[in-house]
Amino acid sequence: MVRRRLTFTERMEISTGSKAGWGVRKVASHLGRCPSVVSRELRRNSTRTRGYQAVTADVKAQRQRSRPQVRKVAKDPVLEARVNADLAASWTPNEIAGRLRLEAADPTVERMANSPDAQGRTASGEAIYQYIYAIPRGELAKRGIFLQSKRTKRRPRSTGRSRGGPIVGMVPLAERGEDAAQRRVPGHWEGDLIIGKNGTSCAATLVERMSGFTGLLALPSKHAKATADAVIDYFNELPEMMQASLAWDQGRPRTCRSTSRTHTRRGSDPRTRTRTGSTGSTFPRAP
């Protein structure tokens, strides 16, 4: 949903209603807006002496929307000098932020060596990180600023690992019966998913643990439902004695929920991640 910005006409209505003594909810109802929008507008753009003025509020809102914004550390020479000195002394941004809060809360706290007086100013660790990453790489080296992580830009939020929830009703491999673990009887399978280049194609591999018999299933997509449907159709064509259990990975493409009574969903056990299963031996990964 696109969030509509307040127009100058709406700000005039807010100003008029505020001067008439209207409450936030009454002004919001008159404008057809959520009360939180009006409350936030009054809190952000009111002045201490004149209250809420439509023209002043509109100009202030436009200034706040302009890009690029001047960072808090960069626009304060005193704060910038202190941050640069502490960064050159190999302090992390979060350590600097914590020290600034401590000095601001207790003026009797002595400053660290070679740290200029911040004069009670504070900055969050995020603000200091934004200041650092806005500086060109070469300029960081010239100032003698080197983060302990050696990074010069932000790390992506995604780490490549699945953020999905655990499989509902999953049975860990540690609880698998001895017949399956020792490969004594047929009917216990291991499954995996193969995804082609750029994710344009995919297939499921099913390996029977005792005999090594392998099934290769072409899939219309890598999503969980399509994978589950293809596996169920495959197992329905097998004799009942070959439908004992299926061990599958916990990765995002394999987040199928419990499928049927004869198709027991099993997930990989963190304690057995180093073991090579039947699918890994049959289809080894490329180096």
Q: What is the C-alpha to C-alpha distance for residues 95 and 187, in angstroms, rounded to an integer?
A: 57
Sign of CA dihedral 245, 206, 250, 260: negative
For the cut 50, the answer to whether the pLDDT of residue 217 exceeds it is yes
Q: Which of 2-11, 115-124, 243-252 has the highest mean pLDDT?
A: 115-124
CB atoms under 10 Å from CB of 222, counted, come to: 19
Amino acid, res. 205: T
3-class SS of residue 194? strand
Q: What is the C-alpha to C-alpha distance for residues 70 and 161, in angstroms, rounded to an integer?
A: 35
Looking at residues 39-55, what average pLDDT do you find? 90
Q: Are 86 and 96 in contact (CB under 8 A)?
A: yes
Tokens of 22: 């209207």
Confidence band for 257, pLDDT divided at 50, 70 and 90? very low
* DSSP codes of every residue in 146-197: --TT--SSPPPS--SS--PPPPTT-EEGGGS-HHHHTT-SS-EEEEEEEE-G
Confidence band for 154, pLDDT divided at 50, 70 and 90? low
Q: Which of 151-160, 192-201, 243-252, 262-271 has the highest mean pLDDT?
A: 192-201
**pTM over 0.75, yes/no:** no
Burial class (CB in 10 A: 0-12, 13-18, 19+), 140: middle
